[in-house]
Each structure stands twice: as C-alpha cells, then as structure tokens.
C-alpha cells in the first residue's frame, strides 16, 4: 500500500435525455472523515448512495460532494384528439340551429378543451438515476486516484526530510563538542574561572561539574530521534491511513529536537539542533496532508 493525500478534486458530467448533470467532489484536510452532500430535491437517495461510496473509498478528510442538474427547454409535442374532433363535428350537424346561427368552424372545434393535447418531454427518471449512480462511482474512483497520485509525490518529500533528519542526527552524534575531552576542557575552564573569582569548596565544585556534564549529555535525545525516524520510515513503507501516527511522531521529533538545543553546550551543536528543528517543522507540515 502507498500513502494518499487528503486533498483532491474530481468532476463527472453528462446528459440523460433533456437533463444535464454534473457531479463535483473535493476533499481537504480533516481530523477524521466527514462527507457533506448537496443534491437537488428529489435525488436524496442518489446522494446517500454516493455518500456511501465516498465513505468506503476515503479514510480521512473533509469531502464536499455536489450534484447540479438542469433540464433543457424541450419542444412540446402537439396532438389532435381526432376521435373527439370527429365526434364533435358529427354532433353539431345533428343539432338543429336557430335562425341566424351558423355551424361552428374547424377552428372553433379545435378550441374546445381536450381536442388539442400538448405533451412535454420530461425524460426517464429511472434512466437519470442509473446514470447518476454510475457517474458517482467513477467520480469517487477519480478522487481516490488523484489522492494516491498526490500521496506518491508527498512520499518523496517526507522521505527526503527524514533522510535530512537522519543526517543531522549523525552530525550531532559526531560533533566534536560531544567528545569527552572537549566537555572536560570546557568544564575545567569554567571551574578555573570560578576558582579565580571566589573561594569555593573544590569537592563541591567537582560534584557540580559532574552534574552539569550529565545534564549536557544528549545521548538519550539522539537515540530517541533515531528511533522516531525509523518508526516514521516503517509507517511510510506500510502505507495506508498513517497520517495521524506520522503527525504524532512529528510532535515527538520536535520535542527531542528542542531538548537537544536546550542541552547543547556548544555553538556547533546548537546549530545542528536548530537545523534539525527546521526540518522537523517542515516534516510536520507535510504529514498533516497525509490521509
């Protein structure tokens, strides 16, 4: 499995008889899965069917599903009720007309209600529902493929950021400022400066120096950073809906990077820590787009 982005867009449009329709589906980042559906009146069942398709194919994100529908102006069909017209014509010939009254003409008979029938083409509603359902299926698949394609591009970015983090962690591990002799030299210089400035108990000063050296050790932070980077790589390799877990690891990476900076007792190590914090923040922003 590969990872997928939470952002995407898809559109399906077509015609069924006089009806022109268009489905649109877009998704954005979200903490969970939310599907908002808007369809014309009378097509609620089609909308709920499309919602179920989205919920089946999308694991996380806020999705907006919209259906627009319009009907073309159809030319009405005019039909003469010939049986009724013939019956009326025969009837008026049998009825004696008073003096001065003429028989009705054809146009007069055509004006009688029911002789001329106007039929408007309304289309096949069942065919429309079938076409809309089929289009909704294609729409959801198109969105899912778009999210997967964006996820593949996203994968390259976050893998590069993890590689950069790993390099910085190794640079911190190999930093000359972390070598015992360098730590000892710095502490010795600090102790000498304090001894010159004031009369202090050498034994007590030695204990404080040991405590300072212990607090300045970043071995645990380096080990945890390596573990978190490895866990993130495992999640990316597994694929699927791993966005929340990657976001949690990004927070943990940020916490360890902050601690490393706080404990750094040398400019070179501080610079490595600051560079690491910057890459972790970029990583955190990217994984928030992962499903």
The enclosing H or E element of 279 equals helix 267-287
The enclosing H or E element of 275 equals helix 267-287
pLDDT at 115: 77
* Cα gap 265→274, rounded to integer Å: 13
pLDDT at 74: 58
* Cα gap 250→269, rounded to integer Å: 21
Do β-strands 33-38 and 61-71 pair in parallel, antiparallel, or remain unpaired?
parallel
- For the record, the structure tokens of 106 come out as 């054809």
pLDDT at 17: 87
pLDDT at 225: 97
CB 276 within 8 A of CB 172: yes
- Residues facing residue 290 across a β-bridge: 5
DSSP, res 248: H
pLDDT in tens, the chain (291 residues): 789 999 999 999 999 988 999 999 999 999 999 999 999 998 999 999 999 999 999 999 999 999 999 987 655 677 888 887 788 777 777 777 676 666 667 777 777 787 787 665 555 689 999 999 999 999 999 999 999 999 999 999 999 999 999 999 999 988 876 555 555 566 666 666 656 666 656 665 555 555 555 555 788 999 999 999 999 999 999 999 999 999 999 999 999 999 999 888 778 888 999 999 999 999 999 999 999
List, in order of start, the domains of the chain with CATH numbers.
8-74+123-147 (3.30.230), 77-119 (no CATH), 149-288 (no CATH)
């Amino acid at each position: 499995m590969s990872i997928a982005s939470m952002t995407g867009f898809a559109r399906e449009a077509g015609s069924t008889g006089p009806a022109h329709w268009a489905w649109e589906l877009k998704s954005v980042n979200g903490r969970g899965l939310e599907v908002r559906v808007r369809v014309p009146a009378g097509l609620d069942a089609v909308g709920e069917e499309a919602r179920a398709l989205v919920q089946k194919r999308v694991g996380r994100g806020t999705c907006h599903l919209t259906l627009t529908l319009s009907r073309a102006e159809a030319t009405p069909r005019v039909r003469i009720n010939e049986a009724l017209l013939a019956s009326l014509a025969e009837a008026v010939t049998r009825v004696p007309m008073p003096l001065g009254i003429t028989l009705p003409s054809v146009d007069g008979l055509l004006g009688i209600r029911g002789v001329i029938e106007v039929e408007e083409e309304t289309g096949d509603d069942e065919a429309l529902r079938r076409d809309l359902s089929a289009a909704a299926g294609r729409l959801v698949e198109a969105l899912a493929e778009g999210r997967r394609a964006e996820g593949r591009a996203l994968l390259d970015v976050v893998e590069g950021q993890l590689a950069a983090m790993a390099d910085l962690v190794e640079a911190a591990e190999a930093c000359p400022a972390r070598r015992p002799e360098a730590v000892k030299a710095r502490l010795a210089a600090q102790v000498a400066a304090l001894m010159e400035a004031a009369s202090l108990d050498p034994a007590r000063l030695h204990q404080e120096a040991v405590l300072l050296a212990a607090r300045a050790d970043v071995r645990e932070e380096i080990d945890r950073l390596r573990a978190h980077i490895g866990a993130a790589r495992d999640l990316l390799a597994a694929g699927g809906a791993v966005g929340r877990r990657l976001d949690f690891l990004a927070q943990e990476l940020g916490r360890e990077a902050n601690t490393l900076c706080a404990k750094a007792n040398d400019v070179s190590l501080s610079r490595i820590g600051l560079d690491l914090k910057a890459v972790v923040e970029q990583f955190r922003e990217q994984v928030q787009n992962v499903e």
